[in-house]
A and B are shown apart, each in its own frame.
Chain A
Amino acid sequence: MTTPKLFNLTAAFISLSLFLSSSSADGATATSLITGTCKQTPDFNLCVSTLNANPRGPKAAGVQTLALIIIDAVKAKATTAYADLKRLLKTAPELEGPLKSCAEQYNVILTAEIPEAEEAVSGGVAKFGEDGMRGSASGADLCEDGFVKVKSPLTAENKAVSGLAAVGAAVIRQLE
């Protein structure tokens, strides 16, 4: 009777360990630069996972590289959000009002605020990069808030942009 149980337990232990070691790889093998930097952001896990997901992340020698990676990731999420909302403008005409507001916000994010952040962080005048990231987070928040009487169809996208941009601002802050 005990043998199958023991077997099961061992198997469970082994698979758990394997599972653990792969999922804990994000934390355990995150460089001390990444963990130190991400500790000072509002979302440690998001920060670490985003940086580790980019091959340049673990190799980064300084916070500036990490900041640029986050900005890139915000750009990707904002691009997705923008594509989604453009699709929704066609398929959900009843939401035209708030969606058009959102389009304006995301247009500013993609054409003004992210380029501002990239140029500022590359150039070493981080505070303008912080402005760009904070502005991007606000823009996503304002888009989300625009859906007053109806449920927002962009919540996931907006939260992704907002959360990551807030992390970006906090990483850039450490460059000042």
Chain B
Amino acid sequence: MGDHNQPFLPVSGDPECVPIQGDDVVDDSLHRPQQGSTKSKLLLAVFSGIFVVCLILAGGYDKSGVVKVAQLGGVDELGVGPIEMPAGSTIVRPAVSRGKSAGVSEKANLSPEQLLGGGEVSGDGLTEDFPWNNSMLSWQRTAFHFQPEKNWMNDPNGPLFYKGWYHFFYQYNPNAAVWGDIVWGHAVSRDMIHWLHLPLAMVADQWYDVQGVWTGSATILPDGKVMMLYTGSTNESVQVQNLAYPANHDDPLLLDWVKHPGNPVLVPPPGIHHKDFRDPTTAWKTSEGKWRITIGSKVNKTGIALIYDTDDFINFELKDGFLHGVPGTGMWECVDFYPVAVAGGNGLDTSVNGAGVRHVVKASLDDDRHDYYAIGTYDEEAGKWYPDNPTIDVGIGIRYDYGIFYASKTFFDQSKQRRVLWGWIGEWDSEAADVRKGWASLQGMPRTVVLDTKTGSNLLQWPVVESESLRLRSKEFKNVVAKPGAVVPIKLEAATQLDIVAEFELDKEAVERVAESDEEFKCSSSKGAAHRGALGPFGLLVLSEETLSEQTPVYFYVVKGKNATLRTYFCADQSRSSLANDVNKQIYGSYVPVLTGEKFAVRMLVDHSIIESFAQGGRSVITSRVYPTKAIYGAARLFLFNNGTEAGVTASLKVWQMNSAFIRPFPNL
């Protein structure tokens, strides 16, 4: 097998790097106040007048057509070319999948074989809206993922380990299951799994955060004290940065918080719009002994990370230039900046620098609702960071997750010397369903983050080891063979709370035999699990129903290209995940490096309406939100499948039933 050792280099077909280019075509003047252009207005008036007269004389006057500026795609009267819809309109994003248009599946021309055993197909989206019932909706709540008891949650905030407790704060709406009225929720845990809800940490009670207590980060000082910097939306909707700290540093639960009387400590600097200034990071030490933070923003369409230095978290100095910026990426939200060890292994405190260290810059792109990171070099003196590979710079290269995962934030867990990543997992159903079920959003299973020492050019993410404490009984399935076209049931007592570790091998002889292909594959433009190639797709059908009327394939697709090199893709296919017509039905994923000697490997956490899939030890991760109507409770099934045409697949898997984390309010508070 001619395996490859390529880092995450995007080729022209790389699926998830597409969105941004289109932004270049957008009329940038819309982002600035309209400058007077009297000349063009005059020209316009003259032209219109002549145009009108001509039309009348020609007798072909159509009232609605006069001085009609171009519809989308047309040519406007000033002779400018077609106006392109911003690329954002075609991007996979959490919100866009609502409504019937996303529910239409192309089934007309697939053979029964391709349908993997057939079964009912979901509606064409034109029938009446799906009648969700309480049984289906209440099944969606997870057993071991963090979520408040009700209502809306979004960004993770200020995670830290303090006096024996992991603390987690989060953007929360106490009043509704949609975003709004944002305050800071709070929970603690001994192990990042068994969470106990605490009272709200901060509410919108000051003029400088009355429109929203938004995202922020914690810094633990050498003396153990905690500084929390967060964004407030003021009474005039200006984004400012505020300082808060525990009312009582002896309280391990950090129940009460004090807002610094001199807030805000930072207001938007000149040249930065008052709505493009949010999400301060954890601070790190400079060689001068100051604390340094970064805050994301944008200038026109260039996403940037501003740098500030401070001694006291109260008085800040804006450094010249930016830590980094990437044209065309738009607003950078929830910027994160942290070191990773070249040798892998443990995580590093945010202040660590020097030899043997690379630095990661991460941004959440407002434009496409994805989290991107890049690895590079931090020039401490200059206050600048440079990517190792500018072609996969921040926002145009690698994503933490190829499914639904946003506003993520890491922290250094000093108790176990690891860097841990939190990410907001939104909903992929309708807002109406969220209101009906009374809640929206989850947090991902926290993940450790390290540099992939084998490729050197990407990170590895893996569920925190404490996730294994949820494992109950396991079943092993060794060397299960799935011939081309096969669907093999994996018999389990239940299939909605699972931890699956699986390895796959393609039949070697078949891999040698098949012809080279010049297929340019992209998960998102493929037919999902029905897209048959010689060497794939193969993987697992999760949250599936007995007759496969509902199924969520998570799988590998292998292309044998020039010189017999294999390229592997890792995808999730939601096109048939539910009979409902108001949920996400997209297919998504990415290229994943599979190195010589490696089998195709995946670990999956299945927890009701969330599936988290980690390929090749966490080299590529996909989080999915799935809303089956039949494949729920005892009717959910797991299958192994191989829909390739040439090669058999041998799979070995171990599947654990997962316990509930019993997330509940802190007792006797």
Minimum C-beta distance from B52 to chain A (A): 6
Q: How many residues in A have their beta carbons less than 8 Å from beta carbons of B?
A: 61
In the bound complex, do residue B72 and residue A135 qualify as a contact, i.e. CB atoms below 8 Å apart? no
Q: Is A24 an interface residue (CB 8 A)?
A: yes
Q: How many residues in B have their beta carbons less than 8 Å from beta carbons of A?
A: 66
Q: Is A1 an interface residue (CB 8 A)?
A: no
Task: Provide the main secondary structure of the chain B interface.
Answer: loop
Of chain B, the residue at the smallest CB distance from A31 is B34
Of chain B, the residue at the smallest CB distance from A142 is B129
Complex Cα gap A135–B37 (Å): 37
Q: Is B95 an interface residue (CB 8 A)?
A: yes
Stretch with Cβ within 8 A of A (4 or more), from B58-66, B282-290, B598-606: B58-66
Q: A42-B72, A174-B86 are in contact. Are A36 and B61 (CB under 8 A)?
A: no
Name the contact of A135 in the complex, choosing from B33, B98, B276 (C-beta under 8 A).
Answer: B98
Give a binary string over B73-116; 1 marks a CB under 8 Å from any A CB, 0 the rest: 00010000001011011000011101110000000000000000
Report chain A residues within 8 Å CB of B27: 36, 40
Minimum C-beta distance from B326 to chain A (A): 16
Within 8 A of A (CB), among B581-611: 582
Q: Is B480 an interface residue (CB 8 A)?
A: no
Q: Is B527 an interface residue (CB 8 A)?
A: no
Name the contact of B212 in the complex, choosing from A42, A112, A113, A123 (C-beta under 8 A).
Answer: A123
Q: Is A72 an interface residue (CB 8 A)?
A: no
10 sampled A-B residue pairs with Cβ under 8 A: A16-B61, A33-B34, A36-B27, A39-B69, A40-B83, A44-B69, A112-B176, A124-B275, A127-B366, A170-B89
Minimum C-beta distance from B75 to chain A (A): 12
Within 8 A of B (CB), among A18-33: 19-20, 23-24, 27-28, 31-33
In the bound complex, do residue A148 and residue B127 qualify as a contact, i.e. CB atoms below 8 Å apart? yes
Minimum C-beta distance from B94 to chain A (A): 8
Name the contact of B435 in the complex, choosing from A63, A112, A174, A176 (C-beta under 8 A).
Answer: A112
In the bound complex, do residue A176 and residue B88 qualify as a contact, i.e. CB atoms below 8 Å apart? yes
Report chain A residues within 8 Å CB of B41: 32
Complex Cα gap A131–B173 (Å): 15
Complex Cα gap A13–B69 (Å): 24
Report chain B residues within 8 Å CB of A101: 128-129
Complex Cα gap A153–B608 (Å): 38
Minimum C-beta distance from B110 to chain A (A): 25
The 7 closest A-B pairs by CB, nearest first: A124-B275, A138-B99, A135-B431, A128-B179, A142-B129, A27-B67, A138-B98
Q: Is A84 an interface residue (CB 8 A)?
A: no
Q: Is B487 an interface residue (CB 8 A)?
A: no
Residues of A within 8 A of B (CB): 13, 16-17, 19-20, 23-24, 27-28, 31-33, 35-37, 39-42, 44-45, 61-63, 98, 101, 104-105, 108, 111-113, 115-116, 119-120, 122-128, 130-132, 134-135, 137-139, 141-142, 145-148, 170, 173-174, 176
Report chain A residues within 8 Å CB of B126: 145
In the bound complex, do residue A141 and residue B99 qualify as a contact, i.e. CB atoms below 8 Å apart? yes
In the bound complex, do residue B127 and residue A142 qualify as a contact, i.e. CB atoms below 8 Å apart? no
In the bound complex, do residue A39 and residue B83 qualify as a contact, i.e. CB atoms below 8 Å apart? yes
Q: A63-B30, A122-B211 are in contact. Are A20 and B66 (CB under 8 A)?
A: yes
Q: Is B330 an interface residue (CB 8 A)?
A: yes
Of chain B, the residue at the smallest CB distance from A120 is B179
Q: Is B515 an interface residue (CB 8 A)?
A: no
